[in-house]
Amino acid sequence: MPFAIFGHLLERRVPQIVGIYLGASWVMVEFITLLVDRFALSPHLIELSMVVLAMLIPTVVLMGYCHGMPGRQEWTAAEKIGVPVNLLLVAAVVFFLFADRPLGAATRTVTVETEAGETLERVIPRSEFRKRVLLLGFENRSGDAALDWMQLGLRIALLLDLDQDAFLEVESQDRLQVGLERVGYPEAVGLDVQLMARLARELRQDHFVFGWFTEQDGELAVSVSLYETRRQRQVAERTFVGSDALRLVDQMSVELRRELGVPERHIDDTADLPVSVIISESVEAFEHISRAIDEMIRSNDWAAARDHLERSVAVDPASVLALYELALAYLVLNEREKADSLSQLALRYLYKLPESWQYEVQYFYYSNIEPDADRRMRIAETMVRLFPDDLNGHVMLAREYILRDQTDEVIAEYERILEIDPSQHEYIREIGAVYRGRGELERALEYYDRYAEIAPDDYSAYRHLGAVYAAMGEHERSRSYFEQALVIDPDNASLMSDLAIARFNLGDFEGAERGFEEALESATAPADRAAAHSRLSDHYRLLGQLAKAIEHEELEWSEWERSHPASVVFTDVKLPSLGLFAMAGQQQRAFEILRRAEDELRVPFNRTIPLGYLNVYLELEDADNAERALAEVEAWVESQQEEHRRDLVLNALGRIQEIRGAYEEAVDSYRRSLELAPANTYTKRRIARCYRELGRLDEAEAYLKEHLVSTPNNPHAHFELARVYANRDERMLALQHLRTALEVWSDADPTFEPARQARVMLAELGPA
């Protein structure tokens, strides 16, 4: 029977027709593949053609059966029904599988006009066709420890080479280092495939690359493996042999791009600078650059990095990468004059860098060497127009909008990043942070909840939810979210401090104290210990124990100094905290630190010196000197368009007006500040204080009650509210709030003025 059926089909030439169709289909798929490669078309066209051609086989069989015999045959009922049904089924499947897939060109052309009037035209890949690649280290298997520097060096070189291709998004060194240290492999070598895949998944990378190298008879052999992240499947493995490491990297780059599916025409037609042009032709210079970057990203030893880079520049004075990194090192180490000259030299050799990198170097220059807000903005806008699907440009532009306090535009840029790459989930969280800063807490919750659904294993989602619920006054709920976050990351010292604050807000003062101490004990890294000391300093400051607050403040400084250059510690840590010293009567110490900063710091690190003076003078209630310092702060804000500091300027102005007794003007300044930064609860307390001085007690009470929603046990707010009630002759309410304040200040320093005044007031009001 089967032979009879086959003979019948053979008589009607069905196998022959199907065979011819399959052969023609293979030729068609190969032709479409060629078109995709040569003309950078959507690779989905290949899948589409295969699906359509495969699904049309029933039509080919049916028509072959009905018309395969010699002579003319009429259309049968089976054909009239079967062929349309098959075509409808093909259309339905194609629509279901490919409706949301782009089927046109994989690239598009953009045209941008520069400041000089020059028109630039670039062909760029569409975002959906870009590949995300995590690049890990190359293990030294030569047995020669002198070659260990190449474990990072080859990774740096390959990253620089691959990063020239707009079809690829290679994971950057800084984000990569955080992930590697978290899993205990800071050198990015020695990981098993499963661990590498997990790390790649966490960083949302499509593929990951790693390798090893050895040396024999003067020849370097480098093996490179490419894996697909989702299935942990090896895509390719190649070994490259030669005497020149950087030329091997060029070869690796081309092969990896082919294996990653970058169109052949794009590879052939796109400018691809040899990586030796970007780094150096000199192996010695390459080695020193690699060792310097290792010192920066792993050891944070910028002095050692500077020494290596100086040797690199001595060997190759035209190495743009060494010049740029050395300028950065000089800047961080506060060697301003050297940073200036090196930056100018690096700009001269800018043409050696990939085009997108050229914009980033210019942005760095106009941010730190010659600050120019307008130029920075134009650079960011040009980069976004020229490379619309490059996330770095959008991040750069969002940063400019943050500085200008243009929060709607910040949100728009973050939304655009999510549109380009929906896997960038952290920007959902960042949008929540923008809404939280604007005081739109319900909107913030929407985004934080959305992020928690997408990333349930990320403790930060629950941490942010806890912070928002605290701001809304739901402190029990806030505490539960912090506890949930600690379940995910039980050794996180910052989360322990968050939980301690939640306990304080719930009235568990002893539990809060234990929580802060446990956070400090669990902190191991310098940054974690610094954060724990900072939170303890804030806590003791609130308790009126200023001696302990200063002790922990100085311990925080010490921790930062172990891992950061002095210039960064001055700018980011010391200068903003000097008001505490003035509050504790140690103003001479504060002025000594400020004078030292004036002697040692250069641009851009000296920009916060006037802010340090302002904080000290405000604590000393020296309105005239505070006003002069404020003028310098405001001049910087306006010249650099750093409108995100405008609330600080207005708040300081309000405090100066308050010190001078101009309470109406102070209220106006404070309220304008509060509009810009609704989360600053201390501003509400200052407004209430002015209203009390003006006799507008109901308004003072309303602001203080708002204050106490988010900080229900803040002693300053309770003390101020006690004053309001005392002025209204509501003695029992005044006593109630006064005792709450004094309970928190029960162990305050004898010289702590607010606690002393509260005790005097309690004596005046008498027993309940």
Question: What integer pLDDT is reported at residue 122 of this predicted model?
Answer: 56
496 and 518 Cβ atoms separated by less than 8 Å: yes
In this prediction the pTM is: 0.82
Q: Looking at the chain, how many residues does it have? A: 768
Residue 90 has pLDDT above 80, yes or no: no
Name the residue with higher pLDDT: 250 or 126.
250
Of 251-255, 445-449, 600-604, the one with minimum mean pLDDT is: 600-604
Angle formed by the axes of helices 320-332 and 302-315, nearest 10°: 150
Question: What integer pLDDT is reported at residue 98 of this predicted model?
Answer: 67
Domains, the chain, with CATH or none = 2-98 (no CATH), 126-278 (3.40.50.10070), 280-371 (1.25.40.10), 565-631 (no CATH)
Short-list 659, 717, 725, CA closest to 690: 659
Mean pLDDT of 272-290: 91
Burial class (CB in 10 A: 0-12, 13-18, 19+), 636: middle
Residue 82 has pLDDT above 90, yes or no: no
Residue 71 has pLDDT above 70, yes or no: no
Q: Where are the beta strands (DSSP E) in 102-195?
A: 107-113, 119-125, 131-140, 168-170
Name the residue with higher pLDDT: 313 or 168.
313
Could you read off the pLDDT of 340-354 as tens digits, one per residue? 888 888 888 888 888
Mean pLDDT of 638-648: 91
Percent with pLDDT over 90 in the chain? 55
Give whichever of 127-136, 179-188, 719-728 has the largest mean pLDDT: 719-728
How would you classify the pairing of strands 131-140 and 168-170?
A: parallel
Could you read off the pLDDT of 596-612 as tens digits, one per residue? 999 888 888 888 899 99
Name the residue with higher pLDDT: 183 or 228.
228
Of 23-27, 325-329, 633-637, 706-710, the one with minimum mean pLDDT is: 23-27
Angle formed by the axes of helices 681-694 and 715-727, nearest 10°: 20
226 and 235 Cβ atoms separated by less than 8 Å: yes
Question: What integer pLDDT is reported at residue 403 of this predicted model?
Answer: 94
Question: What integer pLDDT is reported at residue 20 of this predicted model?
Answer: 79
The model's confidence at residue 483, banded by pLDDT at 50, 70 and 90, is: very high
410 and 401 Cβ atoms separated by less than 8 Å: yes
Query: Distances from the Cα of 694 to the Cαs of 669, 725, 734, in angstroms?
Result: 15, 14, 19
Could you read off the pLDDT of 497-542 as tens digits, one per residue? 999 999 999 999 999 999 999 999 998 888 889 999 999 999 999 9
Bond prior to 490 in cis (omega within 30° of 0): no
**Residues near 677 by Cβ (< 8 Å), separated by ≥ 6?**
437, 647, 683
Mean pLDDT of 648-677: 96
Question: What integer pLDDT is reported at residue 74 of this predicted model?
Answer: 65
Q: What is the mean pLDDT of the chain?
A: 87
Query: Cα separation of 151 and 170, whole Å?
Result: 17
Could you read off the pLDDT of 542-581 as tens digits, one per residue? 999 999 999 999 999 999 988 788 888 888 899 999 999 9
Query: Cα separation of 519 and 512, whole Å?
Result: 11
Looking up tokens 């072959």 gives 64
Report the sign of the C-alpha dihedral through residues 647, 648, 653, 654, in that order: positive
Query: Cα separation of 582 and 588, whole Å?
Result: 8
Name the phi and psi angles at 214, rounded to 5.
Answer: -145, 170
Q: Residue 69: left (phi > 0), alpha (psi -120 to 50), or beta? A: beta
Question: What integer pLDDT is reported at residue 494 of this predicted model?
Answer: 92
